[in-house]
Structure 1
Amino acid sequence: MKIRKVETDKKRYLDLLLLADEQKEMIDRYLERGTMYVLEDDGAKAECVVTDEGNGILELKNIAVEPVFQGSGYGKALVEFLIRTYAGRYVTLQVGTGDSPSTIPFYEACGFRRHHVVKNFFTDHYDHPIYEDGVQLVDMVYLQRAL
């Protein structure tokens, strides 16, 4: 398993990016200003994008694992990589996600704790309803962990 930084042509991983953020226009808001990493294990299995949000905050904007490999530890490996890579350079790693029964427990298992909620984020910023695990996402839940 190898994690490498993607410097150019980030959109070649659009299929992976869309697993975590299903509206291309939303991805376009952060992809080029963000730093992208791809986890390879006999081919690309997962990706993540982080952005500098100022005030010592690094935000995990997108993290996705190929569906057939979800639950294999690749997502956790990416989060641990980010913690190692950015510890001492940032104070906090944060992530915003829908209040979903699959994503919140993943982040909590990685040491994140709920921080704040942005009401109606998904209904206000996406052009169609977003569902995850049969639940419509409405509010954005922000979680944070110390670096």
Structure 2
Amino acid sequence: MIIYKVLKDKKQYIDLLLLADEQEDMIDRYLERGTMYVLDDNGIKAECVVTIENDDILEIKNIAVLPECQGIGYGRALIEWIIREYKGRYSILQVGTGDSPSTVPFYEKCGFVKSHMIKNFFIDNYDHPIIENGTQIKDMVYLQKRI
């Protein structure tokens, strides 16, 4: 397994990016200013885009694992790699995600704790309802981890 930085043509991974953020114009808001990493384990299995939010905070804007590869540690491996890569340069790694019973627990298992919430983020910013496991996702939850 190797993780490497993608320096150009980040949109070649749009299908993977859309797994985590299903509206392309929302991805366009952070993709070029973010740093993209890809996890390759006999083929691309996952990706992550991080942005610098200020002198102390690094944010995961997009992290996605191929559906057939979920649950075997690729997402956690990317997060751990990001922490090692940026440790000492930033004090907080944060992520904003839908208030979903399938995503929030993943981040909590990785050591993140809830920080704050933006009510109706997905209703106000997306052109269609975001449905996960039959439930409409409305709020954005921010979780943080000290690094």
TM-score range (shorter-chain normalised) is over 0.9
Query: Is it true that 1:119 corresponds to 2:113 in the alignment?
Result: no
Under a length normalisation based on structure 1, what TM-score does the superposition of the two structures give? 0.99
How many percent identity over aligned positions?
69
Find the counterpart in structure 1 of residue 13 from structure 2.
Answer: 13
Distance 2:54 2:32 in 1: 17
1:36 maps to 36
- The letter of the residue matching 1:37 is Y
One-letter identity of the residue aligned with 1:12: Q
Counterpart of 1:87? 87
Q: CA RMSD in A?
A: 0.5
**Structure 1 residue 55 displacement after superposition:** 3.6
Amino acid at match of 1:58: L
Q: CA deviation at 1:42?
A: 0.7
Question: Secondary structure in 2 aligned to 1:54?
Answer: coil
Structure 1 residue 108 and structure 2 residue 108: aligned? yes
Query: What is residue 59 of structure 1 aligned with on the other side?
Result: 59
Q: Which runs of 5+ in 2 are unaligned?
A: none
Which residue does 2:69 correspond to in 1? 69
SS at match of 2:95: strand
- The equivalent of 1:47 in structure 2 is 47
Runs of at least 5 residues in structure 1 that lack an aligned partner in the other structure: none
Residue identity opposite 1:18 in structure 2: L
TM-score by length of 2: 0.99
Aligned length: 147
Query: How far did residue 101 of structure 1 move?
Result: 1.0
